[in-house]
Structure 1
Amino acid sequence: MCGILGAIGTRWLDAIPGVLNTLTPRGPDGYGIVHSDAAILAHRRLAIIDLAGGTQPMQSEDRRWNLSFNGEIYNYRELRAELEATGWTFRSHSDTEVLLQGWRAWGEALLDRLDGIYAFALWDVSARRLILARDRIGIKPLFYALQDKGLVFASTLSPFFALPGFPQRLDPEALRDYLACQAVQAPRSILRDVRQLPPASVLTFEQDTARATTRRFWQPSAPHDTAPFFEDALTEVDAAVRESVRRQMVADVPLGAFLSGGIDSSLMIHYMAEAGVKPLKTFNIRFPQVGFDETPAAQAVAARYATDHTVIDAPAIDGAAFEAAIAALDQPLADPAYVTTHELSRLTRQTVTVAISGDGGDELFAGYPRFAQTEGHFPDSLKRRLVRAGTRSGWLPGRLTRHGLAGREMLLYRHVELGPFPHSRKDMSRYLEPATLSAAHPNDTLELWRDLALGYGAGMDTESLMRADLWTYLSEDCLVKTDRASMDNSLEVRVPLLGNPVLDLVLDWPARIHFDADGGKALLRALARSHLPENVWNRPKHGFSVPLQHYFNGQWSTVCEEHLARCEEIAPFLNAPAVRTLWHSAKRGKASRRLAYTFVVLLIWLARHPISS
């Protein structure tokens, strides 16, 4: 697990070595730089596999191919054996060299064979061609900028802030997406001149023509019409998750697991114990507030599998720790669980270098109630049309907006904190200055999510809603949270529920396989009943979050107030009085705490990363 950086044919070629240190937390164990023609590739390494022989950037024997790679290829041993059988030779025992030789052997077809988490850059000296690629679900990040008829790429946005003279301009549409759903959505970044490579994408840049083309190499499959018998499906899921966990145990460094006490992370412990991981070290966060703490369930799982369990008390996250965690982000992310995941990662890294997480279970196995609330649940009617006309014309109060929405528009309203909903509590225009609002195009809020959701049929049904979340909420919020929190602490986190054996199996099935009389996530709940203590599966669902109102009125209050007081200075594109009014109402429990947190995170981040509008 590493940080990658490079440039092809731009004025920043000579600056790349000097900004490589911005990626040091992602790769504290060493670095490498390769100059080749009008290209430079750089790398910071967190050593996980082949500690002595996996140094990067890696070059082919003839020096034509140069690779800088972030991630892990879990099936690299099988791929290596296949390559060796056809005559390819290897100088190391690393997955990096398998990736390099695999591309030489199979070209882009290699991407269909990879099971892993990755973002990589491959420079072909002879063809003067750069290849960038990112894994199926976007577990590992990759940013790039087309500048000066050349290209700059990096694992995160951080190097772009350090490049001398690089434009630091706000992307209003990225701001719109952030305010709507608390995370910037690929392909945008918060910087107007930088883009994120979307998940499951490969970019080809030809230096001679300065032309870049991007395409998807993988799509979530459309589900089959028929579902297997539930017991048969359960047997197959059990085997697929077991295999995915087994593959992801490969490491030459200490390995542990996050254990929240929920079904997903607890199942990871079960399969890790089955795979014979010893000692099995587990870690969880303990909250003092009722309704947020899952420590008793986590301790029950730890006791069943005799893990070496560590409990971390959440109150240690004071205002200074909160501010530092937000400032460490490469772009704003307002998922409240990021801060606790950051603290969990910091303390976990004191013991292990790799941790297993249960991320992806809710998205892949229908764990959110919203997946069952399709556009058909909100049919239009005369009453809705009258209310809709009344709120939009102003003769009915804006607080009635949601009572006039139907179908897809209602799903959009329920999915966002802010959007194109005039006079309502979710009216984005309330918080943005007019020029920024116009440039943000609020009517296009969640355009990517809508396009994805409509890509699997005529309407927004459960199957399409689940698939839309894979490349939006999961990839740009949940996985960003885990990647940034862990890698800022030099910890690699793996997510077996999103491994190929599980994805390839579950995405083929219709959504109804995931639902029973108790709601969604039926398959994972059934596995939990088979393998885990009753107090893990026989209780209400918990999300991994934090008690925001408690922190707003306690340990984080001073930091938040200080930044809100400077709102006009830090973010002149915001309506500062409206933001402060929201904050004070949220502290009293009278407004959206999540939205107030969204603005606080933005202000703290902008104070450390000033950008122009």
Structure 2
Amino acid sequence: MCGIAGIVRWKKQPDSDAEIQRMTAAVAHRGPDGVGFYRRDGVALGHRRLAIIDPELGVQPMADEDKTVWITYNGELYNFRELKAQLKSKGHRFVTDCDTEVVIHAYQEWGVDCVTKFRGMFAFAIADFRQRVLFLARDHFGIKPLHYRVGNEYLAFASELSALRKVDDAPPTGSLQAVDLYLRYNYIPTPHTIYHEVYKLPPASYMVIGFDGDRSGPVKYWDVQFRSKNGLSERDWEERAEETIRDSVKAHLVADVPFGVFLSGGIDSTLVAWQMSEILKTPVRAFAIGFNEQQYSELAYAEEAARGCGVELHSEIVRDDALQILPDLVAHYGEPFGDSSCIPTWYVSRLAREHVPMVLSGDGGDEAFGGYWSYVNWMNADPILEARQLMRSAIQSTRQLAPRAGFYWLRKSLKKSLQTFLKNGNELSEWQKLVLYIGEEHRRALWRPEFHNAMASSSEVFKNADVKARKWNRLAYAQYLDFQTYLPCDILTKVDVASMYHGLEVRTPLVDRGVVDLATSLPTLQRFRRDQSGKAVGKYLTKKVLGKVFPDEFIHRPKMGFGIPRAEWFYEGCSGRRLWDQVTVDESAPLYQFFKRDQVQALMDVHSPKHDNSGALWLLLVMGIWLGQNPEISFS
């Protein structure tokens, strides 16, 4: 894993490496093993390397044999050896054993379509001096980040937003609409960033930028497709799932350095750890984080999982003074990012990096196999379910009425049931009620009146996902929206920044084309069903697979997630409250440029065990820290 940066200028060409050196230095933490630059014809490429495969020869930026195609690349291709053999059969020659060179030759052979052949995580830029174009691409799921800034006669790109602030130009302009999206969703969804002129390249997308400034894209080259297959028995599905997940874990273990696994004790990380222990001959090192507040700590389950998988567990307790790293972490994210589980992710990454430079994680299992509580709530609100319940009630009621009255009541209930049944259950507005952090009414109360026009009704990525997903069943609709929004914009972003802060590579075998192809082909009942008592069971298939080695009490316990004791840490005398006071107590605090002080303080005043405002408080705390760190940014 690495950090990349670069710029193409189509008029004023830089006369030194100073600009690209500053940009690359901003992502130095992502690659402690090496640094490189290349500048030519208005194009400058920079690279910071974390050496995982072929440490000796995989130096970047890298070029082809005749030095006309150059690349700066961040990621890992898990099928690079198969692609290399295919390319060799077509006459390509290689001088390294790293995947970076395979990407170059794949581009030469297949052009921009090369990305459709890759299995892995990647973000890269190829400068093609024959075609005089810059080719930017990002992996299928958005595991690796890629941001770009469009300026006057230039386009710059980088792994992190901080590098784009180092371009020879005035600071970018802040976006008030992006701030409102952040308050709405807990993150700023693709393609937006906190800046008007800076964007996130969406997952499974590429762009082509001419050296003359002509630009095409982003172009989407792949997408998740839900196509349920029938005809297989439960046993068949279990065998296929175990085989597919094991194949993915094995592919993700290709490395020339030691590695381990994040082990929370949840279904997904335990499944990955178990498969690693089955594949490897040497003991697997696992890493876990716990809290003193037992209701938030899964450490006991991580210990049970480690024993069951036969792995060596390293653990650490995160206390409330852990928030001392929050300002530094806010700076690394480069824009307001509201997922508070970035804190334990930072600490477990630090713990792992003390032992290994690379780990596997269980991220993506909930999206693929239907594990979130939001899916349970969504399925419980299914209009079809409501229609059935109306019919049952109507039939029971008619039995207790006179025939004529009973017929009238049944007819009326039938009409209402039919209207409910025919209603399109996949409504974006209804889904967003389940995933919003601060609703419209409360956001309006927070914003100062002169900024009410900044309030966003939704975002492009949600609207586009809604249009495509409406044709699928209710569960697939929710999963698809998460694949387009929550997974790349929150989960994968959180892990990338918190882990690369320490120069730790995190690989996600459940966010893999083979695993997702399997998951999206499952009948709904293999992902979500109800037991005999009517209780919802998410991730049904993966729980069945893991149930081969773990007891029901471990498998079917309530889902906890990877949260922090956020509510408690905001109580009087705790670290969250102290940090809040530092950021908000001053009447001239940056937060009050845009938000009403009395409304902000009211959220804290009523925060208590019976009235938990910690979600909104955390978002405003992060926003206030970010504004204080960036006083030079003006907003519009």
State TM-score, norm by structure 1: 0.90
Kept after mapping to 1: 8 A contact 2:23/2:166: yes
Partner of 1:515: 528
Q: What CA distance in whole angstroms lies between the structure 1 residues aligned with 2:587 and 2:610?
A: 22
Code of the aligned partner of 1:8: V
Q: Distance in 2 between matches of 1:197 and 1:506?
A: 25
Q: Give the Å deviation of 1:306.
A: 3.1
Matched, 1:430 2:445: yes
1:54 equivalent to 2:58? Answer yes
Give the superposition deviation at 1:536: 2.9
Q: CA deviation at 1:574?
A: 2.0
- Partner of 2:409 in structure 1? none
Deviation at residue 21 of structure 1 after TM alignment: 1.0
Residue in structure 1 matched with residue 70 of structure 2 by the alignment: 66
**Is the CA contact 1:379–1:407 (under 8 Å) kept in the aligned structure 2?**
no
Larger mean Cα displacement after TM superposition, 222-231 or 556-565: 222-231
Deviation at 1:418, TM superposition (A): 2.4
Is the counterpart of residue 552 in structure 1 residue 565 in structure 2?
A: no
CA 1:230–1:566: 2 relative to 1, 3 Å: farther
2:105 matched residue in structure 1: 101
User: Which runs of 5 or more structure 1 residues have no equivalent in the other structure?
Assistant: 382-404
2:337 corresponds in structure 1 to 333
CA distance in 2, matches of 1:488, 1:207: 33
**How far 1:593 sits from its partner (Å)?**
1.4
For 1:487-523, what per-residue CA distance to the aligned partner results, in whole angstroms no more than 9, with x for missing partners?
0110000000011210122223343321232421101
Against the structure 1 CA distance between its residues 202 and 406, is the aligned structure 2 distance closer, same or farther, given a 3 Å change threshold? closer
Q: State the identity %.
A: 31
The Cα offsets for residues 349-384 of structure 1, whole Å up to 9 and x where unpaired, read as 011100111000111100013224156449999xxx
**Structure 1 residues 227, 294: closer, same or farther in 2, change over 3 A?**
farther
Shift in CA distance, 458/18, structure 1 to aligned 2, threshold 3 Å: closer
Match of 2:598 among 567, 577, 581: 577
Given residue 445 of structure 2, which amino acid in structure 1 is its aligned partner?
R
User: Could you tell me how far 1:226 is from its partner in structure 2?
Assistant: 3.7
Cα distance in 1, alignment partners of residues 294 and 251 from structure 2 = 37
1:258-313 Cα offsets, whole Å, 9 max, x none, are 10011110111111011115231111011122321111221122223332211111
Q: What does 1:213-232 align with in structure 2 at a 5 Å threshold? A: 213-224=217-228, 226=230, 228-232=232-236
* Cα deviation 1:139-194 (Å, max 9, x = unaligned): 00000012123210001101122334333321122212210111110100111110
1:475 equivalent among 481, 488, 508:
488
- 5 Å matches for 1:457-468? 457-458=470-471, 461-468=474-481
CA gap of 1:75–1:567, structure 2 versus 1, over 3 A, is farther
Partners of 1:406 and 1:59 in 2: how far apart? 48
488-497 or 7-16: bigger deviation: 7-16
Corresponding residue number in structure 2 for 1:595? 616
Q: What is the CA-CA distance between 1:406 and the residue it aligns to?
A: 11
| Residue of structure 1 in register with 2:431 after alignment | 411
User: Which one-letter code corresponds to 1:297 in the other structure?
Assistant: Y
CA 1:35–1:162: 2 relative to 1, 3 Å:
closer
* Cα distance in structure 2, aligned partners of 1:347 and 1:407: 43
User: Whole-Å Cα distance in 2 between the matches of residues 72 and 465 of structure 1?
Assistant: 29
**Secondary structure of the structure 2 residue equivalent to 1:88:** coil
Counterpart contact for 2:320–2:569, Cα < 8 Å: no
> Are the structure 2 counterparts of residues 352 and 411 from structure 1 closer, same or farther at C-alpha, using a change threshold of 3 Å?
same
Among residues 585, 604, 609, which one is paired with 2:625 in the alignment?
604
Q: Distance in 1 between matches of 2:195 and 2:587?
A: 19
**Within 5 Å, which residues of 2 pair with 1:62-461?**
62-224=66-228, 226=230, 228-276=232-280, 278-315=282-319, 317-372=321-376, 373=378, 376-377=382-383, 408-420=428-440, 422=441, 427-440=442-455, 442-443=456-457, 445-458=458-471, 461=474
Partners in 2 of 1:86 and 1:286 — Cα distance?
52
Are residues 575 and 354 of structure 1, via their aligned partners in 2, closer, same or farther at CA, if it must alter by over 3 Å?
Answer: same
Q: Does 1:484 align with 2:497?
A: yes
Please name the residue that 2:561 is paired with: 543
Residue pair 2:125, 2:137 contacting (<8 A) in 1 also: yes
Aligned residues: 583
**Which amino acid counterpart does residue 433 of structure 1 have in structure 2?**
R
SS in 1 for 2:548: helix
State the Cα distance separating 1:573 from its structure 2 match: 1.6
Equivalent position amino acid for 2:308 in 1: R
Distance 1:350 1:277, change over 3 A: farther
Residue deviations 1:221-272 (CA, integer Å, cap 9, x gap) = 1323646332211211111100000000011111011100111101111110
Distance 1:566 1:589 in 2: 28
1:245 touches 1:496 (CA, 8 Å); kept in 2? yes
In 2: Cα distance, 1:310 partner to 1:22 partner = 31
CA shift in 2, pair 1:58/1:589, >3 Å: farther
Q: Which has the larger radius of gyration?
A: 2
Classify the secondary structure of the residue corresponding to 2:164: helix
Residue 387 (structure 1) aligns with: none
Deviation at 1:455, TM superposition (A): 0.7
Q: CA deviation at 1:564?
A: 1.4
Counterpart position of 2:404: none
In structure 1, how many angstroms separate the alpha carbons of the residues matched to 2:258 and 2:98? 17
Q: 1:430·1:578 contact (CA, 8 Å) conserved in 2?
A: yes
Structure 2 stretches of 5 or more lacking a match?
Answer: 388-424
Partner of 1:394: none
Q: Secondary structure at the match of 2:145?
A: coil
| 1:342 CA drift (Å) | 0.5
C-alpha displacement at 1:589, in angstroms?
A: 4.5
Distance in 1, Cα, partners of 2:126 & 2:141: 20
Secondary structure in 2 matching 1:540: coil
User: Does the C-alpha gap of structure 1 residues 231 and 437 become closer, same or farther in structure 2, counting only changes over 3 Å?
Assistant: farther
Q: Give the Cα separation in 2 of the matches to 1:131 and 1:413.
A: 38
1:410, distance to aligned residue in structure 2 (A): 3.2
Decide whether the 8 Å contact of 2:431 with 2:478 is kept in 1.
no
| Equivalent position of 1:2 in the other structure | 2
CA deviation vs aligned residue, 1:469-504 (integer Å, no higher than 9, x gap): 011011100111100100011000000001121012
SS of aligned partner of 1:496: coil
Please give the secondary structure, in 1, of the residue aligned with 2:301. helix
- The amino acid that maps onto 2:346 is H
TM-score scaled by length of structure 2: 0.87
> 1:498-509, aligned counterparts within 5 Å?
498-509=511-522
Cα gap change, 1:378 to 1:144, in 2 (>3 Å): farther
SS of residue in 2 equivalent to 1:542: coil
